[in-house]
Amino acid sequence: MVQFDVVGVGLNATDTLLIVPHFPAYAGKVPFAEEMLSPGGQVASAMVACARLGLRTKYVGAVGDDERGRIQVDSLQGTGINLDHVFVRRGCPNQTAYIVIDRSTGERTVLWRRDDCLKVRPEEITEEMITCARLLHIDGHDTPAVARAAEIARRHGIPVTIDVDTIYHGFERVLPNVDYLVASSEFPAAWTGESDPFKALVSIQAEYGIRVAAMTLGAHGALALEGGRFHYAPAFVVNCVDTTGAGDVFHGAFCYAVLEGMGIGAALDFSNAMAALNCTALGARGGIRGVDEIRALMARAERRSHPEFAARAAGQ
């Protein structure tokens, strides 16, 4: 029985943000202006974005039983997200990151740690956790567990979206059951060995039969391949305070767009806009906004285009 629009299986983290006037030179020093704890994590933050957009949302993942784990759970409880299958690991620290944010640009450097005791095991993923939703969103970190989740979804005709930014051992077991791959800009080349991003996306889509193979491009937007055609969507220009979590929020918006039946071009624009708004505040979820504010930004904002990507997509 379908109870949720989207279920997410994957990472959460509780971050310490350190805001500095500018990044120091290598081996240098700089005083930090502010320190704050901020809940985040790829899939957890994507689910918060989905909930903010009005989707019935469920999160499946593991948290530690320390203060950072409690902060993470507290941050999710007020969102309406179902947490029935958030596993609390006893005697285990939560995933954490120290994120240094350059106030002058909003760019950040991330130092992170996740202990093995936080792993979600494949036997913990049941059919009912997945079949209760219209869409499954995963990352690649606990590969055997997300592979099982994606396989269950495929058997039941549930579309699968994935957020991946690095190569994981055994990830080839996940990709055949993915419908929408939205990777970091580095992943397609690293996975295929093909430096041309257009050719890399073609290669991944052809090998695994993925409906949409896409990549985010940070301040330059996103690129996607669907039905043999590339779609390039420029980014929205905002006053960037912190880029932390922008990709996670992009994925939450993309889940919403898929469930709303948007075309791929509209889906990329909507997701770019929600990600851009998140960059206007501190923290991985600091600038998450609703549909009306996203549409307003799309109507008024300047766009930042990557000339090569735009030209190649337009000239195909």
Residues 34-57 have pLDDT tens digits of 999 999 999 999 999 999 999 999
Q: What is the mean pLDDT of the chain?
A: 96
Which amino acid, 284?
Answer: A
Cβ neighbours of residue 150 under 8 Å, at least 6 residues apart? 136, 138, 160, 162, 174, 177, 178
- The pLDDT, as a whole number, for residue 204 is 97
Per residue, what are the HEC states of 125-187?
A: CCHHHHHCEEEEEEECCCHHHHHHHHHHHHHCCCCEEEEECCCCCCHHHCHHHCCEEEECCCH
Q: Give the whole-angstrom CA distance, residue 160 versus residue 135.
A: 6
Beta bridge partners of 61: 86
Question: Can you tell me the mean pLDDT for 214-231?
Answer: 96
10 Å CB burial of residue 281 (0-12, 13-18, 19+) is middle
Q: What would the two tokens of residue 195 be? A: 């430096």
Judge contact between 223 and 196, C-beta under 8 A.
no
Q: Is residue 266 scored above 90 in pLDDT?
A: yes
Cβ neighbours of residue 227 under 8 Å, at least 6 residues apart? none
Q: Give the whole-angstrom CA distance, residue 160 versus residue 193.
A: 25
The pLDDT > 90 percentage for the chain reads 96
The pLDDT > 70 percentage for the chain reads 100
Compute CA 95 distance to the chain's CA centroid, rounded to the nearest angstrom.
16
- The pLDDT, as a whole number, for residue 98 is 94
- The pLDDT, as a whole number, for residue 301 is 84
Question: Can you tell me the mean pLDDT for 245-249?
Answer: 96
Q: Could you report the per-residue pLDDT of 87-133, keeping only the tens digit for each? A: 999 999 999 999 999 999 989 899 999 999 999 999 999 999 999 99
pTM of the model: 0.95
- The pLDDT, as a whole number, for residue 2 is 86
Q: What separation in angstroms does the CA of 203 have from each of 40, 198, 315? A: 32, 9, 20
- The pLDDT, as a whole number, for residue 1 is 78
pLDDT range class, residue 221, cuts 50, 70, 90: very high
Q: Is residue 304 scored above 90 in pLDDT?
A: yes
Domains of the chain: 4-13+40-95+115-314 (3.40.1190.20)
> To 10 degrees, the CA torsion angle through 135, 139, 141, 143?
40
Q: What would the two tokens of residue 143 be? A: 């590969």
- The pLDDT, as a whole number, for residue 316 is 82
Q: Give the whole-angstrom CA distance, residue 140 versus residue 10.
A: 8
Q: Could you report the per-residue pLDDT of 123-163, keeping only the tens digit for each? A: 999 999 999 999 999 999 999 999 999 999 999 999 999 99
10 Å CB burial of residue 224 (0-12, 13-18, 19+) is buried
Q: Could you report the per-residue pLDDT of 167-183, keeping only the tens digit for each? A: 999 999 999 999 999 99
